A and B are shown apart, each in its own frame.
Chain A
Amino acid sequence: MKEISKKALERIKKEKIEPTPKWKFLLKDYITWFSFVLSIIIGSFGFAMVLFMLLNHDWDIYRYLNRTFIEHLLVSLPYLWILFLLFFIFLADYNLKHTKRGYRYKTYLVLLASIIISLIMGSLLYYFGIGTKINDIFAHNFPYYRRVFYPREEIWNNPEKGLLAGIITNVKSENEFSLKDFKEKIWQIEAKDAYLKKAIIIREGEKIKIIGELKSINIFIAKEIRPWVLEPRGPRNGRFGPEKKSSPR
């Protein structure tokens, strides 16, 4: 047993074993730290999406869909983005644990810190409209995503149940306008007694959703009109835009 040291040294010399260069370890360390930071950042995007989904969901329309509130809640939660966020939070923990001294931190503290950072950064991303942009990209490029994870268009395409949405195509007067729904059908909207929610502007090209009543095959009476997406406050295109005002009644 006492010869082990000598044997080891002989083997080192015979096989010309050399210490791995320091730069390789430094590179590995930098990559691990970079992966940790990247995981937090991507997780933040996930939170921005969770926030977008939660704030733009119509939690009060469950009555129109013959659901209880709990059913509506369970069906509506943005599971995909919550799982996305959780995955990257755990990935951040994994990466930190693989840094030189990361093992010294308790897992629950690392997870908590990662969640808090992702929440703060995610909220900022949402505030600057990133949540909306990401959702638009996914909704336009991945029909499966739209159908399964963001089925708002289907939910709001229920005129028999009093729910209708689409793009305003023509404003005839302040009480009447045309709307093209998501199935390309043109509706005449009577909005004489409609409540305009969240500073909506009735103008051509505006995407809206309407709670109301089906009058006939292509006429819909609006009781409440809402914007399709609740725009977060903050600069758009690098400058502050004017506040939206309700159209004069």
Chain B
Amino acid sequence: MYTKEDCEGKTDEELVVLTLKNEDYYLCLMKRYEEKLSRYIQRLSGLFDKDIEDILQDTFIKTYRNLNEFDKNLKFSSWIYRIAHNEVINHWRKTKARPKMVFVEDNNFLESLVSDSTTEMHFDKKQKKENIQKILNELDDKYKEALLLKYFEEKDYKEISDILKKPIGSVATLLNRAREKFKKETKKQKIKF
């Protein structure tokens, strides 16, 4: 088993090459993404620990199986996020469960959303958060996914394009529309920020 020192200083892409020679290096990659992907899967699916663990493990296994497909022109993080995203979709299809994304955890998300929006928003409290959660959950899945990656996972447009496999222009359009719909809905429900 390799130690933390074996992994440090190596890029994801270097670890991929090493993993293909020795599977033990894969532990380094998984540890780098375990927490991030757990949170992402949890936010995307709204599921609980056991299901998240299963999806995460499936993600890691699938990533390992497809390591030879990894395109070096892509960021490894975008690639593994794409696999995690697809595994969540597969889970929904198997369980026929509707996605219930969990967005509102802290104020940073809303502040990020506000700074990209022309509406001035002032904060309130728990009720506002619940209202926002409700509004966000009423958006179409494609808007929710884009918002999640942009404001929670802090991915840039190119990364979101690679994760969702959509052209960059389409990602920009999705985010603009998501923000517009959000704004419209907050006005309709008379939520002031």
Chain A residues within CB distance 8 Å of chain B: 1-2, 4-9, 11-13, 17-22, 25, 100-101, 103-106
Subset of 29 A-B contacts with CB under 8 Å:
A1-B34, A1-B38, A2-B34, A4-B34, A4-B56, A5-B30, A5-B34, A7-B57, A8-B61, A9-B23, A9-B24, A9-B26, A11-B61, A12-B26, A12-B61, A18-B65, A19-B20, A19-B64, A19-B65, A19-B67, A21-B68, A25-B66, A101-B71, A101-B73, A103-B161, A103-B167, A104-B161, A105-B167, A106-B167
Q: Which of A1, A4, A7, A106 has the most CB of B within 10 A?
A: A4
Residues of chain B within 8 A (CB-CB) of A103 are 161, 165-167
Q: Are A12 and B64 in contact (CB under 8 A)?
A: yes
In this complex, how many residues of chain B approach chain A with their Cβ under 8 Å: the count is 31
Q: Does B170 contact A (CB under 8 A)?
A: yes
Q: Distance (Å) between the CB of B117 and the closest chain A CB? A: 26
Residues of B within 8 A of A (CB): 20, 23-24, 26-27, 30-31, 34, 38, 49, 52-53, 56-57, 60-61, 64-69, 71, 73, 161, 165-170
Q: Which residues of B contact A104 (CB under 8 A)?
A: 161, 167-168
Assembly CA distance A21 to B66 (angstroms): 9
- A198 and B67 alpha carbons, distance in the complex (Å): 64
Chain A residues lying within 8 Å of B167, measured Cβ to Cβ, are: 103-106
Could you tell me if B30 and A8 are in contact, using CB atoms closer than 8 angstroms?
yes
Contacts of B170 in A (CB 8 A): 106
Output the nearest chain B residue to A6 by Cβ-Cβ distance.
B27
Question: Which of A5, A7, A100, A105 gathers the greatest number of chain B CB atoms within 10 Å?
Answer: A5
Contact call B65/A17, Cβ cutoff below 8 A: yes
